[in-house]
């Protein structure tokens, strides 16, 4: 039998402006489902207060009819391929970042293909040994242990969805041991390396306009600590002069965390940024300003890798420019919590994780300054 038609409706709280309209979508009142099946009427709370959340609950309930509630067809349990598509449709309704959706699709399609290659077509057939075997293939596709850790987390999310939707009665992913991620060392550039990078620009990019744009991007990232994605999508209007303090700031928000940042930049860097030649009047480095921004970011990532190779640093990567700014701030004595705000981190724990060694180096520098005062014969040393 076909799945029933399920309707979302709202039970409004007292005083809600949507009272009287059970299909009012913009309030935060509790959303419910109702449907008719085999001559009976059913109602169910979604435990959601947003319409989007109720839509997800509705889809999961519909799928429980179409895939799980088929006692007359025991030979047709949910297939891996069907469940992957159902999960991806659910994620699309969550308003996730397109890049995140792309990762879910890429990784789950690899899981689907792996299952079909070993002859496991039904989700209930997947067990811990199969998942362990699948994980062995990740190292070739994901050299970073941190990336593999995130891939495993997404796979667990997929099985949690399948369990909640009633497609399976056990979650084999719960038995997977955790992947220990290796801490990637923070590698700021020395002043000599940074100057070498700037000096290599004319050799790497003979076109003067291209060289000018690359030079501006490198200095922008070095002094603002913007990641390459945020720098490429930086708008001219975000480079703002603060007349009260006679300095120029980059005032924007990080695409990754949504955290607002305000970073002062040197006057010559500000002038260089505002003079960057770009046919798009809105953006500094994004030429078209439309389409997929990841395409533009990928173009600039390739350009900077070429530059690092030309400068004699084949293992160099754009994130080192951000690291250089952060470490310079720490070594200058700026408190860790303030550096965390400048970097746009959601939590100071993130900053500590990546930059703890440099906090120690800053302390060593402070220690040396204190020790130097002893040699000058001041204070208690002079009194003795």
Q: Percent of the chain having pLDDT more than 90?
A: 51
Choose the CATH number for 77-175 among 2.60.120.10, 2.60.40.1120, 1.10.3720.10, 1.10.150.130.
1.10.150.130
For residue 43, what are the β-bridge partners? 34
Q: Percent of the chain having pLDDT more than 70?
A: 91
pLDDT at residue 245 in the model: 93
| Per-residue DSSP letter, 181 | P
End-to-end CA distance of the chain: 96
Which positions ≥6 away from 261 have C-beta within 8 Å? 250, 251, 252, 253, 254, 341, 342, 343, 344
pLDDT at residue 147 in the model: 87
User: Which stretches in the chain have pLDDT values below 50?
Assistant: 1, 68-75, 380-384
pLDDT at residue 67 in the model: 52
CB atoms within 10 A of CB 273: 24
- Compute the distance between CA of residue 291 and CA of residue 102 in angstroms, rounded to an integer: 16
Which positions ≥6 away from 30 have C-beta within 8 Å? 10, 11, 13, 45, 46, 47, 48, 49
pLDDT at residue 233 in the model: 94
> Could you name the CATH architecture of 191-370?
Orthogonal Bundle (1.10)
- Compute the distance between CA of residue 328 and CA of residue 347 in angstroms, rounded to an integer: 20
Q: Residue 30 class from Cβ within 10 Å (0-12 exposed, 13-18 middle, 19+ buried)?
A: middle
pLDDT at residue 64 in the model: 67
Q: Nearest-CA neighbor of 59 among 155, 153, 164?
A: 164
Could you state, in order of their start, the residue ranges of all structural domains in the chain? 77-175, 191-370
pLDDT at residue 357 in the model: 76
- Compute the distance between CA of residue 64 and CA of residue 58 in angstroms, rounded to an integer: 10
- Compute the distance between CA of residue 372 and CA of residue 366 in angstroms, rounded to an integer: 10
Specify whether the CB–CB gap between 173 and 238 falls below 8 A. no
CB atoms within 10 A of CB 169: 9
Kindly report the backbone phi and psi dihedral angles of residue 226, in degrees, each rounded to the nearest multiple of 5, phi listed first. Answer: -70, 140
Tens digit of pLDDT for each residue in 308-364?
A: 999 999 989 999 999 999 999 988 888 888 999 999 988 888 888 888 777 766 677
Please indicate whether the domains covering 77-175 and 191-370 agree at the CATH topology level. no
361: left (phi over 0), alpha (psi -120 to 50) or beta: alpha
pLDDT at residue 184 in the model: 62
């Amino acid at each position: 039998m076909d799945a029933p038609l399920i309707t979302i409706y709202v039970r409004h709280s007292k005083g809600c402006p949507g009272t009287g309209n059970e299909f009012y979508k913009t309030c935060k009142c509790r959303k419910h489902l109702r449907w008719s099946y085999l001559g009976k009427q059913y109602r169910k709370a979604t435990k959601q207060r947003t319409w989007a959340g109720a839509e997800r609950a509705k889809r999961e309930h519909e799928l429980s009819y179409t895939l799980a509630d088929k006692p007359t067809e025991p030979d047709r349990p949910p297939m891996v391929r069907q469940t992957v598509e159902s999960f991806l449709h659910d994620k699309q309704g969550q308003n996730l970042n397109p890049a995140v959706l792309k990762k879910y699709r890429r990784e789950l399609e690899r899981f689907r293909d792996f299952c079909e290659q070993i002859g496991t077509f039904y989700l209930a057939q997947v067990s811990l040994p199969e998942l362990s075997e699948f994980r062995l293939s990740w190292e070739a596709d994901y050299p970073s242990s941190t990336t593999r850790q995130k891939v495993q987390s997404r796979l667990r999310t997929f099985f949690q969805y399948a369990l909640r939707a009633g497609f399976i009665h056990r979650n084999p992913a719960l038995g997977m041991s955790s992947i220990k991620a290796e801490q990637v060392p923070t590698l700021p550039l020395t002043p000599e390396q940074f100057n070498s990078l700037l000096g290599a620009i004319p050799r790497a990019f003979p076109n003067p306009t291209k060289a000018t744009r690359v030079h501006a991007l490198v200095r922008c990232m070095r002094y603002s600590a913007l990641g390459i994605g945020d720098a490429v999508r930086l708008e001219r209007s975000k480079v703002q002069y603060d007349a009260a303090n006679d300095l120029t700031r980059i005032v924007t928000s990080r695409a990754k965390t949504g955290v607002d940042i305000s970073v002062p930049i040197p006057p010559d860097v500000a002038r260089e940024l505002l003079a960057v030649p770009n046919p798009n009047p809105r953006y500094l480095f994004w030429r078209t300003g439309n389409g997929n921004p990841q395409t533009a970011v990928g173009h600039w990532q390739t350009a900077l890798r070429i530059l690092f190779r030309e400068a004699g640093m084949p293992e160099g990567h754009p994130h080192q420019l951000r690291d250089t700014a952060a470490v310079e701030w720490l070594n200058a004595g700026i408190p860790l919590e303030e550096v965390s705000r400048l970097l746009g981190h959601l939590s100071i724990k993130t900053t500590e994780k990546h930059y703890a060694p440099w906090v120690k180096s800053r302390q060593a520098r402070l220690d040396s300054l204190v020790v130097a005062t002893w040699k000058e014969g001041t204070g208690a040393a002079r009194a003795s």
